[in-house]
């Protein structure tokens, strides 16, 4: 009887695992398809281009506003916001060659704590095996070309791609894709402004204890260093800035995490001889937030986009 139960559980697990795997791989192909559509389009050869890259923190920036400001204060540029939800340097590295192939004049990279840290719960030892480790052993990147980072958060990636597919293929009323922001749809939650600090804290699901690995062990730091080096090697100007984080978010982080992040930023600037612009506490007293680490994509919060436009102009004029 016990053997039958064990066998039934095993068969159910294998079937569920197989269905889940096929679904995830299908979604991964959809992600590549969306990116391919953008990177394969014909840009005017002579047009000057500025690319913004980073996670959802960067996605909240208005590319049109920046394009208008920079073109007025400097030269005419086409500005594209290539931010992607939950993006980190390691995943961005996968599309670096495609970015370089489009020959942008400037790449503006927004970074924050979560780009180089991991949730504390992910680093604790568990009795059960880590699913990501299992995937990495089964599907090595070298053998199959599968990016196992996709499996770190299947739920998030599933929601991302379903949102993208729906937003692109059917004009959903609450999701808007802007032509110059191809990978990041805007909907009501991204454009709302939460005025009361207490409501921001209550509604925010992103505050978590983060662990920052030392530079020598931090694969995200290594990936970012490679991204900067490759861009500069191809004569692409690199501008780095630290994205805004609400005071409540910053206060929730450990002293070690904050000090480690500051050291990381200092070494990054030193290694590449670049200035890193810091907006981490720039908007503490302004009612422009939608969460503790996201400025709202809203006309009332245009100061964020304008400040990024100003540093671009400053660097272009240097």
| Residue 204, pLDDT score | 55
User: Looking at the domain 49-124+177-316, which fold is it?
Assistant: Rossmann fold (3.40.50)
Sign of the torsion formed by the C-alpha atoms of 197, 203, 206 and 207: positive
Q: Find the range with the poorest average confidence among 11-20, 133-142, 302-311.
A: 133-142
Q: C-alpha angle with apex 224: 218 to 227, nearest 5 degrees?
A: 145
For the chain, give every domain's residue range. Answer: 49-124+177-316
Across the chain, where does the E strand assignment appear? 49-53, 78-81, 106-111, 117-119, 175-178, 181-187, 210-212, 237-242, 276-278, 289-291, 294-295
Q: Does an H or E element contain 141, and which?
A: helix 141-144
Q: What is the pTM of this model?
A: 0.78
3-class secondary-structure state, position 302: helix
The answer to whether residues 124 and 67 touch, using CB atoms and an 8 Å cutoff, is: no
pLDDT tens per residue across span 228-273: 999 999 999 999 999 999 998 898 888 988 999 999 999 999 999 9
Confidence bin at 128 (pLDDT 50/70/90) = very low
Paired with 239 in beta bridges are 108
In whole angstroms, what is the distance from residue 156 CA to residue 135 CA?
17
Q: Place 136 in a pLDDT band, splitting at 50, 70 and 90.
A: very low
């Amino acid at each position: 009887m016990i053997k039958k139960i064990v066998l039934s559980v095993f068969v159910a697990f294998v079937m569920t695992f197989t269905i889940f795997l096929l679904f995830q791989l299908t979604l991964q192909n959809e992600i590549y398809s969306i990116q391919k559509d953008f990177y394969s389009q014909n840009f005017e050869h002579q047009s000057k281009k500025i690319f913004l890259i980073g996670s959802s923190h960067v996605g909240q920036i208005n590319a049109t506003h920046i394009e208008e400001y920079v073109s007025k204060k400097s030269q005419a540029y086409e500005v594209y916001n290539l931010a992607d939800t939950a993006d980190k340097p390691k995943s961005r590295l996968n599309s670096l060659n495609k970015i370089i192939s489009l020959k942008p004049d400037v790449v503006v990279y927004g970074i924050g704590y979560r780009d180089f840290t991991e949730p504390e719960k992910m680093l604790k030892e568990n009795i059960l095996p880590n699913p990501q480790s299992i995937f990495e052993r089964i599907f090595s990147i070298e053998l199959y070309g599968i990016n196992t980072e996709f499996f770190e958060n299947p739920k998030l990636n599933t929601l991302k791609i379903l949102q993208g597919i729906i937003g692109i293929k059917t004009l959903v009323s609450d999701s808007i894709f802007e032509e110059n922001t191809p990978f990041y749809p805007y909907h009501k939650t991204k454009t709302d402004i939460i005025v009361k600090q207490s409501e921001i804290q209550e509604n925010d699901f992103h505050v978590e204890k983060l662990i920052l690995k030392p530079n020598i062990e931090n694969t995200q730091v290594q990936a970012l260093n490679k991204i900067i080096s490759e861009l500069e090697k191809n004569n692409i100007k690199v501008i780095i800035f630290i994205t805004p984080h609400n005071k409540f978010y910053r206060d929730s982080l450990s002293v070690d995490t904050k000090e480690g992040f500051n050291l990381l930023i200092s070494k990054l600037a030193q290694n590449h001889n670049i200035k890193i612009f810091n907006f981490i506490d720039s908007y503490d007293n302004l009612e422009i937030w939608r969460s503790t680490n996201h400025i709202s994509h809203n006309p009332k919060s245009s100061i964020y986009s304008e400040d990024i436009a100003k540093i671009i102009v400053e660097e272009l004029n240097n």
